[in-house]
Chain A
Amino acid sequence: MRRLALVGVPNCGKTALFNALTGSRQKVGNYSGVTVERKAGSARTPSGYPLDVVDLPGTYSLRARSPDEEVTRDVVLGRRPDEPLPDLLLAVADATNLRSALRLVIELKRTGRPIVLVLNMIDIARHRGIGIDTAVLQEALGIPVLTATAVRRAGMEDLWARLEALAASGVPVPTENLWSEPGALDLRAIQKQADAMIARAVTQPPTANDLSAKIDAVLLHPVAGLVILLALLFVMFQAVFTWATPAMDAISAGFDALGAFVHATVPPGLVESFLQNGVIAGVGSVLVFLPQILILFLFILLLEDLGYMARAAFLMDRIMGGAGLHGRAFIPLLSSFACAIPGIMAARVIDSRRDRLATMLVAPLMTCSARIPVYTLIISAFIPHKSVLGIFSLQGLVMFGLYAMGIFSALAVSFVAKFLFWRRAPSPPFMLELPDYKMPRIKSVAIGLWTRARIFVKRAGTTIFFATVAIWVLATFPGPPAGATEPAITYSFAAMIGNLIHPILAPVGFNWEISVALVPGMAAREVAVASLGTVYAISGGGDVQIGHVLAQQWSLATALSLLAWYIFAPQCISTLAVIKREAGGARWMWLTFGYMFVLAYMASFLTYNIAVALGAG
């Protein structure tokens, strides 16, 4: 026995068991050809026998309904050429909720593969007074049944002992695969069989556990529930923007120091410019968002472990449904406030393709943190520092308005997309289990955060690295002629492109400098700020000085127009690349780019011309 696969229904504690088996020896990748996350790791039994463990996506049945569930089915049935057939299936069940788990196990048994059923979270079941006779279950199912508490070391002893024994003796020989997709009648029969087993093996406590119900009475209250959700979001944003600041400052100071070190040690010239402006500044400008992304994911992982995320989807379903979005789109859209990239990747949790595409299409409209430097620069330079109604700061209100515009336009776009593409296609059902509340485990949250951080840093090191190198090349070559007086960037390809697109952007009030800055902004939106600095040749300029120059050189109409542009800001290569990969086609990428460009252009055009008409030109 070498390869184990974990199979179970969603929320059964499968990931906790996977973490307990593999510790931090995990690898997260993709199954080839599909954008389904593949979580695999290596484990060692106490006596040192090595095991490969793969954590298959959660599913209620082998009759796959989403790409994730298809992977589970195909791996279990050995239909994926790149994935060896597992030697043993570890069916994981939540001991407090066996109905759907046993139905899945009965279905799994039909595949003829060797199976061990692990009743996870047995401590919670015992605590609630649920009695499970594993001997009866074992006899009824005809497979070994054992109990575990994945989050405690002692709770894993039985499982380790069983794995040890199987490693020594070998797993039973697989029998013929008799599985075929069950119909409604068949499913009913399976469920009846499972219920009969539960009736024999499980004793329920006289009074049902109602802690979750009591909490839900508040958190799912039609009004209070929504208010609490909004309050939670508010706290989360506060945390993302305030807690992250010291770490972000430290990271950017670190990269600045590194840049200064290169500047001081490497002789001036192309190599120095490449290292300092291309590599260090480019990668640094993206890595600086790592603290914000980690804080955001900390909240998301905690809320998910707590069991709140399914509730949030419940509360938001009707509101988002009005705009043609699925309740589950709430989580991806929330992540997009940090960065659209993890947001678009999080859209995988939505099982209907149509809903997934709609979510990916609008995720870039949520105001990502890369827009913040641009917003703060322009707001502090052009919006007067005064208060409105005595309590609100005007600058803060403008910032809030920009965020609100982003949310509003995301809802509007998805509404239009629903009308244009999916008018006849009926909206798919919203059905999901609301798991019982559970205290989040520090270890599983830490592993989750570590995984996110690694993915993000790896991307910064590859895709974003190459994008920034490309932008550096565009902004550096050809070099300025001898005796040039203008900043070097004005002679570069970037400037040529900027001048080329300037006539297109002139009607919205952008001068050629802005047009040039938008080109490097393709790598990451906030790079546009640095580029404006370069174009205006501000030596050693911090944002304050750029702000001063801009305030003198631009009209208010131009500034407002640029703000409007950045609500939509179609130019972010990384986001577009992720959409292409996740949506499975360049079509969707171009569609996103196209509609965002049109919206940005229209918004800027209107803003500029109205502002000019009002005398702000």
Chain B
Amino acid sequence: MKIDRTQETTGSFPLGKASKGYCGCIDRISPCEDCPGLPAAEIERRLIELGFVEGAQVTILHEGLFGRDPIAVRLNGSTVALRRREAMAILTR
């Protein structure tokens, strides 16, 4: 797994870039504001509703075949599937 400089300096790593087996602690949820898709605030609320809140442990358990997408993550005792695009909003360390 490669971590580029910018992320290393801020100390957080987007879950959407992590590989299978990665385990991290959620630092913050920050959906990109100008990306196409649902408004950032809505993505944020949906992620929170699935249990992605600051401080929670996440582990990537499974990946899809094509483009290693979507991913399934272990999160506080439950398993959640999501696409890497949305997982980019989950910053971990």
Contact = CB atoms under 8 A, between A and B. Distances in A.
A220 B67 CA distance: 15
Given A100-B50, A216-B61, A314-B64, A428 B70 contact: no
B49 A433 contact: no
B87 to A, nearest CB: 9
B32 to A, nearest CB: 12
Interface string B69-93: 1101010111111110110000000
Contact of A318 (B64, B72, B80): B64
A24 B88 CA distance: 46
B67 A318 contact: yes
A183 interface: yes
A77 B65 CA distance: 44
Interface string A422-446: 0000111111111110000000000
Given A191-B48, A216-B72, A431 B81 contact: yes
Contact of B64 (A208, A222, A428, A435): A222
Chain B interface, DSSP helix/strand/loop, else mixed:
mixed
A188 B37 contact: no
Interface residues of B, number: 38
A223 B70 CA distance: 14
Nearest to A432: B81
Contacts of B61: 213, 216, 220
B41 to A, nearest CB: 6
A225 B69 CA distance: 14
B83 A212 contact: no
Contact of B45 (A99, A184, A217): A184
Contacts of B77: 96-97, 99, 204, 208
Given A183-B41, A433-B78, A317 B64 contact: yes
Interface residues of A, number: 50
Interface in A152-185: 182-184
A192 B55 CA distance: 10
Interface in B52-66: 53-54, 61-66
Contacts of A183: 41, 45
Contacts of B37: 426-429
Nearest to A204: B77
B10 to A, nearest CB: 21
Contacts of A241: none
Contacts of B74: 213
Given A97-B78, A432-B80, A433-B50, A223 B64 contact: no
A103 interface: yes
Given A191-B53, A434-B79, A429 B85 contact: yes
Closest 3 CB pairs of A and B: A426-B36, A222-B65, A220-B62
Given A184-B45, A220-B72, A318-B64, 19 more contacts: A184-B41, A187-B49, A188-B48, A216-B62, A216-B72, A220-B61, A222-B68, A310-B81, A317-B69, A318-B66, A322-B66, A426-B38, A428-B38, A429-B38, A430-B81, A431-B81, A431-B82, A432-B81, A433-B78
